[in-house]
Amino acid sequence: MVHSMRLLLGVAVLGAAIAAHVRAEPIPAPSYTPPPPGEKQPAVRTDDAGWRGRRIVTRRPDVEIVLGGDLSGRRSARARVGDDVLKVIQAQDENLLIRLAGREGWLKKNDAVPLEEAVAYFSEKIKRDPESSYLYNKRGTIWSFREQYDKALDDFNTALRLDPYNVAAHTNQGMIWFYKGNYDKALASQNEALRLDARYMPAYSNRGVVWFVKKEYAKALADYDEALRLDPDHVNARNNRAWLFATCADPKYRDHDKAVAEARRACELCFWENAECLDTLAVALAQAGQFDEAVKLLKKVLDFPTEDLRRGQKERTRERLKRYEARRP
């Protein structure tokens, strides 16, 4: 099993993999145009209970959050959110608290679209602006999160037809090919993204996953290292590097201490709320002979709501739990 990032949505798709992480990185959106005056916006829910725990996406590519606890922004830095699916921690007045690379930040409710409304919302925007590469890429990331990969691929292909320089769409297209098992096309898409922008961090992490399944472990590790050089707080790259250290078929690359340290850091960055990161740490601990702690983590994974897990993840986790309870890695 390979742990990927979710459509990095903005992404870079590895996937649906995770539901809970968010990154602060700008997303190319050359074709985006602001909504016309009077456009109906998604309904704003003012009650905390109506927002807490919900999945959202942002309406625009340039949405910022205020990092830290100061909602005025006077004492806090700001960060771009990107196109990932976000999870709301709490609501306060007209603001939503989300988490970003180990930090908390506030997002305006009016900038958020509930995930269950997102396909309809962006489909309507596409009707108004059918030449927007950004909008097709955005809707594709939502399809990918739902693991509807054919629909996601159609949208990413359209995004690239409209704008061949849309780096995020190349990366996301590549991860759909990865999910569909076409690793050569997946690799080609990530290579094209990096040809267009050699500093586009998600493509390094995503390409590393492709190299891993192709058993090119040195190349995978090099890509994970570069992704983390560009963004030391990137959850997926750190989680993927931990998986390589814990499970690599070539013993030369296995390092249980590094695997546990990397996986713990990934869990810290996602506030211990990402099922795939917890799963990776459990595997790393079991490989290091620490079965009791690994069992505790897998039981936490089984407590996650279904929507936070990939298809079939609960069944795989139960099977692994039985092995670890029998003290077999």
- Quick one: pLDDT at residue 20? 28
Per-residue pLDDT of the chain (329 residues; tens, 9 = 90+): 444 433 333 333 333 232 222 222 332 333 334 445 555 555 544 456 589 889 999 998 888 888 765 555 545 567 777 778 888 999 988 999 987 666 788 999 999 999 999 999 999 999 999 999 999 999 999 999 999 999 999 999 999 999 999 999 999 999 999 999 999 999 999 999 999 999 999 999 999 999 999 999 999 999 999 999 999 999 999 999 999 999 999 999 999 999 999 999 999 999 898 999 999 999 999 999 999 999 999 999 999 988 788 888 999 999 999 999 999 99
DSSP 159-200: HHHH-TT-HHHHHHHHHHHHHTT-HHHHHHHHHHHHHH-TT-
Looking at residue 50, what is its pLDDT? 84
- pLDDT at position 38: 53
Nearest alpha-carbon partner for 171 in 147, 143, 197, 145: 197
The separation between CA 184 and the C-alpha centre of its own chain, rounded to angstroms, equals 22
The pTM for the full model equals: 0.82
**Three-state DSSP string of 83-144:** CCCEECCEEECCEEEEEECCEEEEEEHHHEEEHHHHHHHHHHHHHHCCCCHHHHHHHHHHHH
Burial class (CB in 10 A: 0-12, 13-18, 19+), 93: exposed
Domains of the chain, earliest start first: 48-115 (2.30.30.40)
What is the tens place of the pLDDT at every residue in 183-204? 999 999 999 999 999 999 999 9
User: HSE (CB half, 13 Å, CA atoms) of 91?
Assistant: 19
Neighbour-count burial of 17, counting CB atoms closer than 10 A to its CB (0-12 exposed, 13-18 middle, 19+ buried): buried
pLDDT digits (tens, 9 = 90+) for 209-228: 999 999 999 999 999 999 99
